[in-house]
């Protein structure tokens, strides 16, 4: 029992460090942005109305929607948009048209997530370092350079992994939440009247009396729930209970205390609206708080960067991105990965965001639109899971989904007003990435159709070959083939040029599935083709680590004895040639051909030993 308790405590502490960094640092800028434009007059009724909006937004969007409902929609214990997309697409697999639409909508949501992955580190670190302006106005000129140095250092250490520093994330973030809660409480004690804002009547009165202003304000209020997606996305790492305990036990109370404290501060001193978070700190605590805030924002950014790596790996294995070099940064934890291409692209995007916008207030205009759209997509996908997988009545699904969709669409519509001020930035990023992902998926489909049209049936081919068999040489040959049961090009080239066949021959197809995990007991399908030849299908979930030699070890005892030192892997290295009048627009075919050319080699992706790989090339027109 005690070990269970300690395990639960450790997981809860870890969840606080990884899951809640993003939503925890929103106190730096969310409340400030409501009054930053000067459109909302600082009156008691308005401040109480805004605080009420904050309270009910956190309650409805995070506590009810994510913690109570969406976290139930786990895919074998895994969460996140990719897991939900897989779950939704499986739920409607008997409706192919609807399924393809859901896949495209979900993929656009993943593209938006990457846009969020650029803006979150930029706005978080900028808003933390801006506290130096409160210490001394002379620091204003140094905010952007200091922020860039912090961010470049953060991305530079990614290749070393986060194992060693990760254990400090939880304690530092706990200190952060206690500090922001205590700072808010000190202000509330001086003006406890602000607590009446928990009654929704204040939000309703604000909305009815200033409906246009209230609608515009929703875009800033929404900033308090950016990061809520992480509760669901990281469910597989920590489990539901630790995330729920952390939310209700520490995170939500601390956030509400701080927001209400900022409200009390602004009521006492309307000028404090320019940066209520730092201005409510005692003078002696300013510099320590800037340091703690910077640490908290770095941790929040780290969690999002790690999430981007995981999402990329899952997207590759679901067939929406080309193979990329994936490095494991921990021997113990296989989930800790580093993808160089993604890391440097994210850094380039973050540097562009910081230099282009220059302040957290300017970036706040860009922030929110992608997150609010992701929340709309999440609600839509959840509807199909609840209705078609769980089998709840249609009327109940429609009522529940409509309520959450109404809330999501209200926030999204308000955020649309920010497009000109900066909302275009994440949308452009998402559109570019969506184009890349949809082009890769369509290109692979066209390529596979072309390969299928030109393919030769494997069993019939082998029967013909063994009528007058070629010379057999020692060892095992593993021929990789995209489509099971067809003759790989590498085999044809080997017979044509070398005129030999190995003693044992495996024709292996790797299949990735729309489930997170496939256990080792279901990893292989093996079928004997006679003449010491076998057809093998290797199954992986989108969160499994691909390791083909390890998977093939399970074939021992099935009539085939595999010796690592005696095994050669034959791969076809296809060069794609775009043609006019093909399956896609010419520019998309060229884009696909370039991506195909630049994709990391299958040998590295499948962890094949370098000294045992033979690649044979061919050209394919699409």
Q: What is the 3-state secondary structure (H, E, C) of 209-255?
A: HCHHHHHHHHHHHHHHHCCCHHHHHCHHHHCHHHHHHHHHHHHHHHH
Model pLDDT for residues 90-131, shown as the tens digit of each residue: 888 888 889 889 988 988 988 988 888 888 899 889 999 988
The pLDDT value given to residue 172: 92
Task: Please give the Cα distance from 526 to 573 (Å, whole number).
Answer: 25
Q: Is 315 helix (H, G, I), strand (E, B) or coil?
A: helix
Closest CA to 117 of 390, 315, 382, 250: 315
For the record, the structure tokens of 296 come out as 């908290």
Mean pLDDT, to the nearest integer, of 289-315? 87
pLDDT above 60 (res 332): no
For the record, the structure tokens of 572 come out as 């076809």
Q: Taking a C-beta distance cutoff of 8 angstroms, is the pair 540, 317 a contact?
A: yes
Encode burial over 138-154: b for 16+ CB neighbours within 10 A, e otherwise: ebeeebbebbbebbeeb
Query: What phi and psi, each to the nearest 5 degrees, are found at residue 192?
Result: -65, -10
The pLDDT value given to residue 1: 44
Task: Please give the Cα distance from 164 to 202 (Å, whole number).
Answer: 47
- What's CA 413's distance to the chain center, in Å? 23
The pLDDT value given to residue 549: 92
Q: Taking a C-beta distance cutoff of 8 angstroms, is the pair 356, 366 a contact?
A: no
Range of lowest pLDDT (38-52, 205-219, 297-311, 526-540):
297-311
Mean pLDDT, to the nearest integer, of 192-210? 94
**What are the residues whose beta carbons fall under 8 Å from the beta carbon of 348, sequence distance 6 or more?**
none
Question: Is 2-442 a domain of CATH 1.20.1740.10?
Answer: yes
Q: Taking a C-beta distance cutoff of 8 angstroms, is the pair 552, 508 a contact?
A: yes
**What are the residues whose beta carbons fall under 8 Å from the beta carbon of 394, sequence distance 6 or more?**
387
- For helices 2-18 and 286-317, what crossing angle results, to 10°? 100
Range of lowest pLDDT (64-78, 159-173, 295-309, 438-452):
159-173
**What are the residues whose beta carbons fall under 8 Å from the beta carbon of 137, sequence distance 6 or more?**
none
Task: Please give the Cα distance from 322 to 312 (Å, whole number).
Answer: 10
Tell me 546's DSSP state: P
Closest CA to 416 of 449, 451, 376, 370: 370
Model pLDDT for residues 559-602, shown as the tens digit of each residue: 788 888 889 999 887 777 887 766 788 889 889 889 988 888 88
The pLDDT value given to residue 333: 56
Quickly count: other Cβ atoms within 10 Å of residue 3's Cβ. Answer: 7
Query: What phi and psi, each to the nearest 5 degrees, are found at residue 581?
Result: 80, 25
Task: Please give the Cα distance from 84 to 229 (Å, whole number).
Answer: 12
Report the half-sphere exposure of 514 (CA within 13 A, side-chain side): 16
Q: Taking a C-beta distance cutoff of 8 angstroms, is the pair 40, 46 a contact?
A: yes
For the record, the structure tokens of 491 come out as 């085999």
Which pLDDT band, with edges at 50, 70 and 90, does 191 fall under?
A: very high
The pLDDT value given to residue 239: 83
Task: Please provide the DSSP assignment of 453-520 as one string.
Answer: HT--BHHHHHHHHTTSPPEEEEEEEEEE-SSTTB--HHHHHHHHHT-EEEEEEEEEEEEEESSS---G
The pLDDT value given to residue 202: 95
Task: Please give the Cα distance from 46 to 261 (Å, whole number).
Answer: 15
Q: What is the 3-state secondary structure (H, E, C) of 331-343?
A: CCCCCCEECHHHH
- What's CA 66's distance to the chain center, in Å? 16
Most confident listed range (257-266, 455-464, 529-538): 257-266
Mean pLDDT, to the nearest integer, of 71-84? 80
Range of lowest pLDDT (170-174, 182-186, 495-499):
495-499
Q: Taking a C-beta distance cutoff of 8 angstroms, is the pair 568, 478 a contact?
A: yes
Strands 337-338 and 327-328, bridge-based pairing? antiparallel
Q: Taking a C-beta distance cutoff of 8 angstroms, is the pair 452, 405 a contact?
A: no
Encode burial over 124-133: b for 16+ CB neighbours within 10 A, e otherwise: bbbbbbbbbb
Q: Residue 176 is inside which H or E element, if any? A: helix 163-190
- Which residue reads 């890769």 in tokens? 440
The pLDDT value given to residue 6: 52
Range of lowest pLDDT (72-86, 368-382, 439-453):
72-86
Model pLDDT for residues 521-538, shown as the tens digit of each residue: 889 999 998 888 999 999
Closest CA to 341 of 92, 158, 94: 158
The pLDDT value given to residue 2: 46
Range of lowest pLDDT (133-147, 241-255, 573-587):
573-587
Which pLDDT band, with edges at 50, 70 and 90, does 542 fall under?
A: confident
Task: Please give the Cα distance from 80 to 405 (Å, whole number).
Answer: 18
The pLDDT value given to residue 4: 53
**CA-only gyration radius of the chain, Å:** 27
pLDDT above 50 (res 398): yes
Q: Taking a C-beta distance cutoff of 8 angstroms, is the pair 53, 217 a contact?
A: yes
For the record, the structure tokens of 478 come out as 């593993």
Closest CA to 572 of 613, 535, 537, 530: 613
Quickly count: other Cβ atoms within 10 Å of residue 563's Cβ. Answer: 11
Locate CATH 1.20.1740.10 in the chain.
2-442
- Which residue reads 């948009």 in tokens? 81
- Which residue reads 């999501």 in tokens? 408
pLDDT above 80 (res 329): no
Tell me 601's DSSP state: P
């Amino acid at each position: 029992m005690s070990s269970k308790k300690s395990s639960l405590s450790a997981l809860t502490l870890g969840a606080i460090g990884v899951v809640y960094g993003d939503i925890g640092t929103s106190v730096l800028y969310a409340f400030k942005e409501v009054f930053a434009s000067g459109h909302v007059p600082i009156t008691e009724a308005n401040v109480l109305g805004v605080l009420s909006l904050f309270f009910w937004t956190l309650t409805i969007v995070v506590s009810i929607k994510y913690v109570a409902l969406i976290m139930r929609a786990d895919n074998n214990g895994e969460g996140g948009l990719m897991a939900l997309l897989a779950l939704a697409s499986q739920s409607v697999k008997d409706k192919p048209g609807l399924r393809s639409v859901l896949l495209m909508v979900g993929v656009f949501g993943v593209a938006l997530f990457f846009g969020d992955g650029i803006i979150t580190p930029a706005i978080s670190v900028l808003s933390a370092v801006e506290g130096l302006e409160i210490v001394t106005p002379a620091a204003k000129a140094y905010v952007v350079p200091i922020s860039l140095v912090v961010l470049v250092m953060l991305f530079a250490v990614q290749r070393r992994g986060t194992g060693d520093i990760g254990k400090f994330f939880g304690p530092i973030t706990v200190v952060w939440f206690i500090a922001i809660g205590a700072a808010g409480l000190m202000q509330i004690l001086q003006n406890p009247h602000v607590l009446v804002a928990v009654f929704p009547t204040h939000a309703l009165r604000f909305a009815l009396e200033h409906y246009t202003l209230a609608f515009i304000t929703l875009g800033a209020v929404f900033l308090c729930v950016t990061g809520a997606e992480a509760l669901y996305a990281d469910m597989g790492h920590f489990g539901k209970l630790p995330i729920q305990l952390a939310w209700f036990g520490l995170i939500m109370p601390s956030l509400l205390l701080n927001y209400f404290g900022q409200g009390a501060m602004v009521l006492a001193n309307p000028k404090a609206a320019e940066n209520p978070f730092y201005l409510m700190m005692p003078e002696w605590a300013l510099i320590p708080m800037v340091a703690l805030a910077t640490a908290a924002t770095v941790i929040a950014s780290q969690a999002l960067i790690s999430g981007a790596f995981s999402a990329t790996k899952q997207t590759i294995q679901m067939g929406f991105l080309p193979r990329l070099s994936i490095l494991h940064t921990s021997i113990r934890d296989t989930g800790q990965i580093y993808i160089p291409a993604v890391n440097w692209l994210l850094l380039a995007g973050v540097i562009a965001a910081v230099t282009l916008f220059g302040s957290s207030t300017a970036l706040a205009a860009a922030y929110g639109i992608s997150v609010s759209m992701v929340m709309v997509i999440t609600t839509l996908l959840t509807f199909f899971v609840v209705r078609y997988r769980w089998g709840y009545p249609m009327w109940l699904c429609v009522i529940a989904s409509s309520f959450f969709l109404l809330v999501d669409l209200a926030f999204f519509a308000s955020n649309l007003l920010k497009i000109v001020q900066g909302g275009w930035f994440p949308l452009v990023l998402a559109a570019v990435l969506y184009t890349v992902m949809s082009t890769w998926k369509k290109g692979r489909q066209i390529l596979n159709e072309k390969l299928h049209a030109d393919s030769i049936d494997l069993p019939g081919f082998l029967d013909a070959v063994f009528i007058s068999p070629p010379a057999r040489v020692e060892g095992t040959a593993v021929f990789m083939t995209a489509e099971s049961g067809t003759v790989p090009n590498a085999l044809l080239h080997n017979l044509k040029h070398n005129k030999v066949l190995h003693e044992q021959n495996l024709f292996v197809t790797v299949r990735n599935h729309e489930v997170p995990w496939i256990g080792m007991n279901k990893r292989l399908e093996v079928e004997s083709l006679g003449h010491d030849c076998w057809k093998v299908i290797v199954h992986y979930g989108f969160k499994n680590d691909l390791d083909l030699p390890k998977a093939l070890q399970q074939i021992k005892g099935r009539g085939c004895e595999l010796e690592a030192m005696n095994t050669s892997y034959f791969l076809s290295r296809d060069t794609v040639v775009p043609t006019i009048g093909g399956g896609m627009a010419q520019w998309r075919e060229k884009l696909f051909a370039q991506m195909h050319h630049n994709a990391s080699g299958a040998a590295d992706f499948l962890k094949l030993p370098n000294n045992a790989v033979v690649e044979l090339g061919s050209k394919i027109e699409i």
